Every structure is written in structure tokens, then in C-alpha cells.
Structure 1
Amino acid sequence: MKLSTHLVSAPLHTPFVTALRTATHAESLLVSISDGEHTGWGEAPQVWKVTGESLAGAQACVEGPIATALDGLGPDDLTEALRRLQGAAQGNFGAKAAVDVALHDLAARRVGRTLHGFLGSTATTVRTDVTLSAGDPDALVRAAQDRVRDGFDVLKVKVGTGDAAADFERVRRVREAVGPEPRIRLDANQGWNRRDAVTAIRALEDAGCAIELVEQPVAAADLEGMAWITDRVSTPILADESVYGVRDLVNVIRLGAADLVNVKLAKCGGLGPARTLLELAREHGLGAIVGSMMESHVGVGAAAALVAAYPTTAVNDLDAAWWLRQAPVDGGITYAGSTIHLPSNPGLGVTGLIA
């Protein structure tokens, strides 16, 4: 098998603003693995403020210890390749996810199946929410109305700006502008403290804003704080940055820190670990969604294939590739409002890089 890496920078059609960062491009490392006839693709996004991984580090990991670990294996050795991959280095979950997905994509292509079909699904579509970037109330209202017109019916509002009262007012304005039908979920990206989180969430509950869930209200390491919030509000709490792997999820479950977990390939290391997390959550009565970083049609396509085969308890967070002005690859998933259409071609349906 031949393993190659490709650095890409895809411009967004609109800046993506959160409590942690502002992005104007999706910066990623694409990984391709070829058997001479078929090529599988995977992706490692650069998200400094979340995973701490860089493109240079991911590339060094893929071309160094991961390539060494896979040396000598053939394209039919998927199980052994995935085992060696996870043991090749500590951390480096984005790099591992890229190679894990590329290996799965190659395996699916070799038997002429779509990736979601290879994982056991006959679905042709999955659904996604859409994120409204953090901003002033007027801009947020306009964005919400535009996204509803675009066909999205689950809106994720970025909060956690440091002013809980202002966050409340922004969300109230959005609900007033879009009416009662679209679902609204919030993502604080660790931006609140526990008391401000409870104050803001209770105020939104009392105002009848019908918030579906609140994602990662406090710092990732503050599981006790998140449990404190979960105990004091009616709105479901979703853990994101607090959960990378099984140990993290076990701690969330043990402390009752959240009602749901957001599983992301670039946080946990690929499709194999993601399936384990989804199964563990289900066994312990925890809800789950699958999310994405700022990724292209490669990374989001893999997450969408996972969702098709392992249905979650709420609409997923897979709008990242929708933000791209132009995809860095040909083929793959397509968007029609909140619906993601899965490819009918083998694997991820990606046919190559756009020059």
C-alpha cells in the first residue's frame, strides 16, 4: 500500500466565529492510501483551540510512526492495520482518524461498496444542523432567517461570549425571529462558568425559548461543574470537548456530567473508536450525536457514513463542508438544506483532489 499526504486550505464562503476562534479557511491534511488500483481518502483537520494538533504534526505522525507501523501490510489486512494504527503513537487523534478512514475507504472500494454500505447501512441520506456564527444580535437574526430559507430546521447558536445576559438576549432574538418550528441548540464552546451557565439556561427555559440542548457549557476538564449544571437545569447538556476517548466518556457517565455526547472522528481517532463510543453511550442510556470539525467532504463524508450505519439520538452536527466555497476534492457527499446525500459511488465517492 502506498500512503501519501496532501495539505489543503479551502476558503469558507462566510467566516466561522465561535467563542474559541474565527476561521476563514478549512485547513486540513488529506491522506490517501492506494493499492495501485483503488485509493482511499481520509482527513485530519487543524483545530488548534480544540485538539491542539497542527497540520505539520499530523503530517509528521502519518509519514513517520504510522507509516512505519503499517509497513509490510497488504490492502486485505484491515483489522491488523487498524490495530497497529491505534498503537503507533500516543494522542495524534486527527492523524489516526485520517488513516483509519482512508483504510476503511480503500477496503470499501476494493469490494465495490459505498463506505456507509461497507459499515452496514442501506440509507441514502442523513440530516444535519447548521451553525450560526457568534455575532451581534442583528447579524445572528439575519443569519438564522437565511439558514431557515436555505432549508435548515435545526439551528446551532454559538454562545459563551463571556456575557451570559447578552447570550440570553441573542438567543431570545433568534427564537423570536424564526418562530416556534426550527429547533435551536446552543454551543458555548467552554465559554461559560458554571453559575453563568445555569443562570442563562434557566432564563431561556423561563422565557419559553425551547432550547433543544446546550453543548459544552464549561471548560472541558470541569466535569464536576458540568454535572452541577446538568443537575440544575431541565435542558439536556451535551459533552463535546470533554470527551475524546473511552476513559473520558466513562468519567462523564460516572459523574452524570451530561445527557448526551458529541462523537467526532478527529477527537477519538477514527471510525473504529467512534463506534465504540456510540455503543458505550447507548449501553449507559446516554444520548449521542456525531459532529465534525472544520472539515471538507472527506472528513464529513466519513462521519455521515458512520451516522448512516449507527443512528444517533438527535440530529447530527455535520454542516462543516457546507461552509466551503469550493471543495478540495471531486465527488463525495452533497447538501440539500439539512439533508446530506450520501454518494452512490464506492467508498466515500471521492475521485481525487481538485487541482
Structure 2
Amino acid sequence: MKITEVRIGRISVPLRVPFKTALRRVDSVEDVIVEIHTDTGAVGYGEAPPTGVITGDTTGAIIGALKDHIIKTIIGRDVDDFEALTDSVQKCIIHNSSAKAAVDMALWDLYGQLYNIPVYKLLGGSKDKIVTDITISVNSPEEMARDAITAINRGYDTLKVKVGVNPKLDVERLSAIRNAIGARAKLRIDANQAWKPQEAVRILNQMQEQELDIELVEQPVIAHDIEGLKYVTERSYVPVLADESVFSPLDAMKIIQSGAADLINIKLMKCGGITPALKIADAASIMGVECMLGCMLEAKVSVNAAVHVACARSIITKIDLDGPVLCSEDPIIGGSIFDEKDIAVSKAPGLGIKGIEKITYLD
């Protein structure tokens, strides 16, 4: 199975409601699609969201990395030369993790098709269903409480609540949500790097003292402040999940070895795809540190790839793969089935994607 052509396209998928965090507001998913074609007729699909405020990857940067570096590295090569192929993708350009992730997952898709086996099975996974949380965007306490009730009525039992916009309101936001939903759901919070270390400890401990029962806090401080992250981890009543601080397996090892966080969040777009995600999960497993499998605002192609990883590694105990259910439509044919909180992995060969509607090709 030789790679004969790589096509680049774009999709635009509106969200049900605006997605708002301490870092940005998004109204639609605007992602880059990669199709890797082969001489057997098999096609591998990948996806990359432009998330410049987190990964530094803009649409133009993703397309440039693909055209100028990554595609040249893989064209004409045999999919069965898999380790060397995926290694070349990671080494042909520094950074640009989202572009690498799109191509890496498309290669895994082809490799599974080559051997007629789903990727999660190829990785040794036996679990075929997972349950995701759903994100509550940061707004006024009253609006967030209403959104939480809506999520509960849709069947969700774990809510990931965005905070960090006007930190003085954050305790009030969580109080409003907890009062509205009672004990019907777990609450996770995501500060998206918005707090200072001492501020984070004060806010988190205040939440727990008010019996808001917070399961974990995601990235309370700025990504590069590992000492600050450790400060919060050592003093907070709430377990700390490192997200933007972890872009690579090496980052994960440094966080784990220094005790800077209690848990690690793996995102394909941060680390560069399935291949490095597996390395992070396996390193965490050796150290006994549980992981979350998360996503950016992505459509189903890339989130589907993350589902296969989540089903393949037991150290991944928490799931934050709500991208497709935040969208108002699904242009992706095939792949995993997203039924609100319940996700059933595709059992078709590879990643199971059959095609994409409403795609605009760049060539």
C-alpha cells in the first residue's frame, strides 16, 4: 500500500451555542482535513483544528506545514513501513503539532485498513464504549446554571465547567451550578491558565469548603509555570490536571517526576497524533498516573481517532471528547457513534471514516 496523493480540504461546522473560555470565543468549527490516498484505493483521513491561542497552529500554518514539509516526507512511501513513516512525520518539522496529528492519524487509519482491523484493536484495546463529559462555557452564573440543567436533561452526568473570566465570580459560578443540579453530576473545572498560583489555591479551597465537590481542576495556571502548577498541586484540596503544560511525552515525564500535577491530559493536537499520545499514556501508566483523553473544538474525524486511543489504554480513566456533540451537524460519514455522553467506537477497519460531506478542497 503506497501513498500516491495527499489532498487538503477544509470544513466548517456551526456549534449549537458559542463556546467561551478564559482564552477565546468560537462559533463554528473551522478545521483542516487531510486525505491520504494510496495505490490500493484506500484513503486515510485526518483533521487539524486551528487553535492558535493554545497550540500556536493557525489555518495558514497548518496548511503550510503540510504542503512544505510533511506531505513531501510521506509521498511515495509504503504504509507498511509504519514506524519509520510516523517517525518521519514527527521529525520533518519542529512544533506544528496539529498538522502532524492530522497526518499521523490518517496513517494509523491506513495501517488498520491494510491489516483489516480497527485501530483500537490494533493497539490491543478491548473496550468498545466510553462516556464523555460535556463542556459548560463561561458566562454569568445564572446562564451557566441553566446550561448545566440542560446538559443534565440531555443525560450527562459529568460537566466540565469553564472558569477564569473574572476570577472573583468563579466560586459564584460553581455555586450556582451545584445549587441547580444538586448531586446529579460530577463537576470538573477548567481555568485555561487564567489564575495565579496563590489565587488558584484560594479559589479551589474556597470551593471545597463550600462543599461544591469539585472532581478536578484543569490547568489552573499559565502553561510554562511548572513551579506554580506544583505549588497549586501541593496545596489544593482539588486534584490538578495538567493540560497546556503537556505537549510531548517529555513534558509529561517532567510533570510526573516533579509531582507538578496529579493527572495528565492527553490531546492529539497538542502532542502530534496517536503515536506520541500512546507514548504519554504508556509513560503515565508506568508511573501510575491516570490520564484524561481530551480534544480541542474538533469535528468527528480527529475526535474519532482519540476515541480509539481511549479504548486502547486503561490508564485513560477520564474522557473529555465532546467536540462532535457541541456541533449542530455532523458532516462526517462513518467513524464512532456519538450518542450524547455515550460513545461507541467504530469497529470498521482503521478508524472507520468513510467520507466527508461539505468539504472544500484546496487543490
TM-score (norm 1): 0.96
* Displacement of 1:313: 4.7
Residue 61 in 1 paired to residue 68 in 2?
no
Tell me which of 149, 162, 165 is aligned to 2:166: 162
Tell me the percent identity: 35
Aligned counterpart, 1:282: 285
Secondary structure of 1:272's partner?
Answer: helix
Gaps of 5+ in 1: none
**What is the 5 A alignment of 1:80-95?**
80-95=84-99
- Residue 10 of structure 1 aligns to a residue whose secondary structure is strand
Cα distance in 1 between the residues matched to 2:315 and 2:325:
21
Equivalence map 1:264-279=2 (5 Å): 264-279=267-282
Kindly indicate whether residue 52 of structure 2 is the aligned counterpart of residue 48 of structure 1: yes
- What is the distance in 1 between the residues matched to 2:122 and 2:111? 8
- Would the aligned equivalents of 2:285 and 2:315 in 1 still touch at CA under 8 Å? no
CA RMSD of aligned residues (A): 1.3
Equivalent AA in structure 2 for residue 329 of structure 1: I
Contact 1:162 1:191 in 2 (8 A): no
Secondary structure of 2:26's counterpart equals strand
Question: Where in structure 2 are there 5+ consecutive unaligned residues?
Answer: 359-363
The worse-fitting range, judged by mean Cα deviation, of 65-74 and 45-54 is 65-74
- 2:146 pairs with one of 142, 150, 164: 142
**Aligned match for 2:313, one of 307, 310, 313:** 310
Deviates more, 1:113-122 or 1:238-247: 113-122
- Residue 261 of structure 1 aligns to a residue in which SS? strand
In structure 2, distance between residues paired with 1:150 and 1:114: 30
Q: Report the Cα distance in structure 2 between the residues aligned to 1:101 and 1:200, rounded to whole angstroms.
A: 39
Looking at structure 1, the residues matched to 249 and 258 of structure 2 have their Cα atoms a distance apart, in angstroms, of: 14
Deviation sequence 1:38-77 (CA, Å, 0-9, x none): 1111111111110010111111211221122113312322
Q: 1:50, 1:150 → 2: CA distance?
A: 29
User: What does residue range 119-198 of structure 1 map to in structure 2 within 5 Å?
Assistant: 119-163=123-167, 165-198=168-201
Could you say which residue in structure 2 is the equivalent of 1:339?
342
Residue 113 (1) aligns with residue 80 (2): no
Q: 1:81 to 1:313 in 2, by over 3 A?
A: closer
Q: Does the CA-based 8 Å contact 1:130-1:156 persist in structure 2?
A: yes
Q: Is the 8 A contact 1:34 1:106 kept in 2?
A: no
- One-letter identity of the residue aligned with 1:281: A
| Residue 301 of structure 1 pairs with residue 304 of structure 2 | yes
Asked whether the equivalents of residues 162 and 192 of structure 1 are also in contact (C-alpha less than 8 Å), the reply is no
SS in 2 for 1:219: coil
Task: Say which SS state the counterpart of residue 46 (structure 2) adopts.
Answer: strand
TM-score, L = length of structure 2 = 0.94
| Separation (CA, whole Å) in 1 of partners of 2:352 and 2:155 | 24
Give the Cα separation in 1 of the matches to 2:153 and 2:317.
Answer: 22
Alpha-carbon distance, 1:326 to partner: 1.5
Shift of 1:32: 0.9
Please tell me whether the aligned partners of residues 291 and 318 of structure 2 are also in contact (alpha carbons under 8 angstroms): no
Write the letter of the residue equivalent to 2:18. P
- Paired residue type of 2:56: G
Q: State the Cα deviation string for residues 188-232 of structure 1 (Å, max 9, x = none).
A: 000111121111111111111110000000100111111111111
Task: Measure, in 1, the Cα distance between the counterparts of 2:335 and 2:315.
Answer: 22
